[in-house]
Copies of this chain bind each other. A is one copy, B any other.
Amino acid sequence: MYDDIVLFIHIVQHRGLAAAAQQLGIPAATMTRKLQKLERSLGCQLVHRSARQFVLTPEGEAHYLAYANLVEQLELTQRSLRADMHEMSGKLKVLAPTGISIGLLQPMWSRFIKTYPDIQLEISLNNVIEDMALSKADLALRVGPQQNSALYQKHLGTLQTVLVATSGYLKNKGEPESLDALKGHHLIATKAVSIWNLVNSKTGQQYEYRPRVSTLSNDVSLITQLACDGIGIALLPMSEVKSHIESGQLKRVLPEWRGPDRDLFAVWPTGRLLNAKARCLRDFIHDYLREHL
C-alpha cells in the first residue's frame, strides 16, 4: 500500500512510469501493475497516461501533494539509518576519561585510526563526565557501570589496580608488610574510590580498607607522576604502571594484594547506536583490551 504510494510519487517526479522504473531499477511491467493496483485500491484514477503524455488527474494531484513530503522524509530517514548501520566513514565522536586514554589505550587509538582511515575520529578527553546528548557524542568510555537508564552499556574490560611506590620512597619510609602498616604512609589515590576493596591474590581473602588518603586527583597520569616522584604509595591501574614496574622506576607494595577492579564500559544513548562506526570502535576497544590486559 504505502510502498505503492512511494512508487507513485516517484512516477510523478519522473513524469512517467518508464523513467521512474529505470531510476528505481524496477521493470516497467511491475510499475504499471503497481500503479493499477494502487488506483484500484484507492478507487480512483491517479494519472491519465498514454504513450506520449502524462497528466495527473485531480485525485492524482491531491495524492501527490499529500504524500510527496512524507515520502521524501521517509526516504531521508531510511538513508540516514542505513548510513548509520553500515557506513564506515564520516565523523565519529567519542568521550573518554583522560587517564586510560593516554595511557593504556593510546596505542589502541593509533591502531584504530590506521585501521579505519575513512573515519574522522574526534576523541574528547575529559575527567568529568560530559553529557552525551549535549556534546553529540556517539560513544563514551566510562569507568564503572552507569546508573543512567537512558544509556546502553557494554563491558569492555577490567583494569586491575595495584599499590606502587618508588624504591627510594620505600627505603626512606619503610616498606609496609601488612595492610595495617599502610596507615603511616602517604597515600595517593583517585577521588572516585573512597573504600579500597582489597583482594589477596593468593588466599582470595577480601578486605575493606578505608584509606586515609593524603593526596587526591581525578587524573590517573598525574597520580602516576607523583608516585614516580616518590611522594608516596599510589593505588593505580596495573596497565598504567606496568611499564614503570618493568623499568624498575616503581615497585609494587604488598604485591599479594590487588586493589578494587575498575570495570571499563562503553556507553551510548538508548534509541541510538546502530551507528556502525561507534559499534566498530566499541568492539575494537573490547578486542584490544582482551589482548592487552
A residues with a Cβ closer than 8 A to B are: 1-3, 6, 42-44, 58-59, 61-67, 70, 73-74, 77-78, 80-81, 84-86, 152, 270-274
Say yes or no: A81 contacts B66, CB within 8 Å: yes
Of the A-B pairs whose beta carbons lie under 8 Å apart in the complex, a sample of 8, sorted by A's number, is A43-B86, A44-B85, A62-B84, A62-B271, A62-B272, A63-B274, A65-B271, A70-B73
Assess A62 versus B81: contact at CB under 8 Å? Given A2-B2, A2-B3, A6-B2: yes
In the complex, what distance in Å separates the CA atom of A67 from the CA atom of B77? Answer: 8
Q: In the complex, which residue of chain B has the Cβ closest to the Cβ of A77? A: B66
Chain A to chain B: the 6 pairs with minimum beta-carbon distance, closest first: A62-B274, A65-B271, A61-B271, A2-B2, A3-B3, A66-B77
In the complex, what distance in Å separates the CA atom of A78 from the CA atom of B42? Answer: 10
CB neighbours of A6 from chain B (8 A):
2
In the complex, what distance in Å separates the CA atom of A218 from the CA atom of B271? Answer: 64
CB neighbours of A73 from chain B (8 A):
70
Q: Nearest Cβ distance between residue A5 and chain B, in whole angstroms? A: 8
Q: In the complex, which residue of chain B has the Cβ closest to the Cβ of A80? A: B66
Say yes or no: B81 contacts A77, CB within 8 Å: no
In the complex, what distance in Å separates the CA atom of A274 from the CA atom of B63? Answer: 9
Q: A42-B85, A66-B81 are in contact. List 8 more A-B contacts (CB 8 A).
A: A2-B78, A43-B85, A44-B85, A58-B273, A61-B271, A62-B274, A63-B274, A67-B77
In the complex, what distance in Å separates the CA atom of A84 from the CA atom of B62? Answer: 10
CB neighbours of A272 from chain B (8 A):
58, 62
Q: Nearest Cβ distance between residue A229 and chain B, in whole angstroms? A: 45
In the complex, what distance in Å separates the CA atom of A90 from the CA atom of B1? Answer: 26
Q: Nearest Cβ distance between residue A87 and chain B, in whole angstroms? A: 13
